[in-house]
Amino acid sequence: MGAAFFYHLTRRPLEATLPMLLDKSLQAGWKVAVRGTDQGRLDWLDQKLWLGPEEQFLPHGLAGGAHDALQPVLLTTGPAANDPQCVMCVDGARISAEEVNSFERICILFDGTDEQAVQEARVQWKLLTDAGCAAQYWSEESGKWEKKAES
CATH code, 83: 3.40.50.10110
- Average pLDDT value for residue range 54-75: 91
pLDDT at 57: 81
pLDDT at 51: 83
Residue ranges making up the domain that contains 71 = 3-150
- Average pLDDT value for residue range 119-140: 97
Top-confidence residue, 105 or 53: 105
Question: Can you give the pTM of this predicted structure?
Answer: 0.94
CA 151 vs CA 81, 93, 96, 136, 148: distances in Å: 30, 21, 17, 7, 11
Counting the structural domains of the chain, the total is 1
